[in-house]
């Protein structure tokens, strides 16, 4: 199954909401990858296993579930998570891509690619709708947290 949605970051019609620069948004997305405990309450531990110039491998523990991720960075453009399949997790991918259709009009496109079928049976369909809703809420929370960090001067 592939699921994606878009979150608008800067809205020229909403002057009350402070604008984020592309660099602030980028730093926030990288911070989420490297310090997921700051964004998700259910993460118990994170270990960076290996790191390269534009990637890292990590292990994340959430209760009894341990996941292995390789995360690729395309500078100021996207963060691409590759989660390995295991006996407890089906694996998959998540991509957070910054889009800027016009100057300062920033959006983040969140894409999830999972081994779930695109056309599930009726029993599974309800679960997948719940999953999509949870992802949407988590992504909204991610952007909210990035805004808070930027307001505190912690992002570029």
Indicate the SS3 state at residue 97: strand
Closest CA to 36 of 56, 16, 17, 21: 56
CATH of the domain at 96: 3.30.530.20
Taking the C-alpha atoms of residue 116 and residue 120, their distance in angstroms, rounded to an integer, is 8
Instruction: Give the domain extent around 97.
Output: 2-151
Whole-prediction pTM value? 0.92
Tens digit of pLDDT for each residue in 75-109?
999 999 999 998 888 899 999 999 999 888 999 99
Q: Is residue 26 part of a domain?
A: yes
Q: Is residue 59 part of a domain?
A: yes
What is the H or E stretch that residue 142 is in? helix 122-151
Q: Is residue 156 part of a domain?
A: no
Q: Is residue 82 part of a domain?
A: yes
Q: Is residue 19 part of a domain?
A: yes
Tens digit of pLDDT for each residue in 40-88?
999 999 999 999 999 999 999 999 999 999 999 999 999 999 999 988 8
Confidence of residue 16 (pLDDT cuts 50, 70, 90): low
Q: Is residue 93 part of a domain?
A: yes
- Our count of domains for the chain comes to 1
Closest CA to 108 of 151, 79, 84, 83: 79
């Amino acid at each position: 199954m592939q699921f994606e949605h878009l979150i608008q970051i800067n809205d020229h019609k909403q002057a009350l909401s402070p604008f984020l620069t592309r660099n602030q948004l980028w730093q926030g997305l990288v911070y989420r990858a490297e310090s997921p405990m700051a964004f998700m309450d259910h993460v118990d531990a994170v270990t960076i296993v290996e790191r390269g110039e534009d990637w890292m491998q990590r292990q994340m523990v959430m209760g009894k579930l341990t996941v292995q991720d390789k995360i690729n960075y395309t500078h100021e453009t996207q963060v691409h998570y590759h989660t390995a399949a295991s006996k407890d997790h089906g694996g998959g991918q998540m991509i957070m891509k910054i889009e800027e259709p016009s100057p300062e009009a920033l959006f983040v496109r969140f894409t999830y690619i999972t081994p779930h079928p695109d056309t599930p049976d009726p029993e599974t369909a309800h679960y997948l709708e719940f999953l999509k809703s949870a992802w949407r809420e988590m992504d909204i929370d991610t952007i909210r947290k990035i805004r808070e960090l930027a307001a505190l001067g912690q992002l570029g």
